Amino acid sequence: MRYDEFLEIVAQLKQSNPIWFELDSDPPATKNDIKTAERQLNIIFPEEYKMFIQTFGGGYFAFTVIYSVSVKEEWSLVNQNKLLDLLDKQQFLAISDNQAGDYYGYKIEKGVSKNTIYVYDHEDQKIRKTKYQNLYEYLVEVGLKQ
């Protein structure tokens, strides 16, 4: 899914279900915020994630949560990933969770995040590829229930 298609779906849903988008969230990120978080984690984020957090920020996004690049905020991507310790152990960057112990995110190869969304299953401690080819597909189905 392309970013413009994603934005069109979000715009339609904001009109029909505005309360979905009025939950707590972190402010939109700046390019400097993103570069700082990338430096702290020593990886490069996918463009889709950067575009999303520059537009919407982190925190609640309808029925899901997307981690923010701000270290000071509740949904800090940097803090969450340092706590999980999956970057070093499994080359996995968590960007969202399902509130039941599983995490959605990106595989990291040579310091660069891939676009395909993976899930870390806390029960068997394995990372599996999902059907979502990018963040927007994940957000439309999981976050927006489409």
Report the pLDDT value the prediction gives residue 26, as an integer from 0 to 100. 86
Give the residue numbers spanning the domain of 22.
Answer: 3-143
Output the six-digit token pair for 118.
């993976």
Structural domains counted in the chain: 1
Residue 90 CB coordination number (10 Å)? 16
Report the pLDDT value the prediction gives residue 24, as an integer from 0 to 100. 80
Report the pLDDT value the prediction gives residue 66, as an integer from 0 to 100. 95
Report the pLDDT value the prediction gives residue 99, as an integer from 0 to 100. 86
Report which residue type is found at 36. T
Output the six-digit token pair for 57.
């920020």
pLDDT averaged over consecutive 10-residue blocks of the chain (146 residues)?
A: 94 91 87 95 95 93 92 84 90 93 94 92 94 96 89
Report the pLDDT value the prediction gives residue 25, as an integer from 0 to 100. 85
Rounded Cα distance between 75 and 91, Å, is 20
Rounded Cα distance between 75 and 127, Å, is 21
Report the pLDDT value the prediction gives residue 34, as an integer from 0 to 100. 96
| CATH classification at residue 30 | 3.40.1580.10
Q: Residues near 94 by Cβ (< 8 Å), separated by ≥ 6? A: 67, 77, 80, 81, 84, 86, 103, 104, 105, 120
Report the pLDDT value the prediction gives residue 146, as an integer from 0 to 100. 78
Global pTM value: 0.91
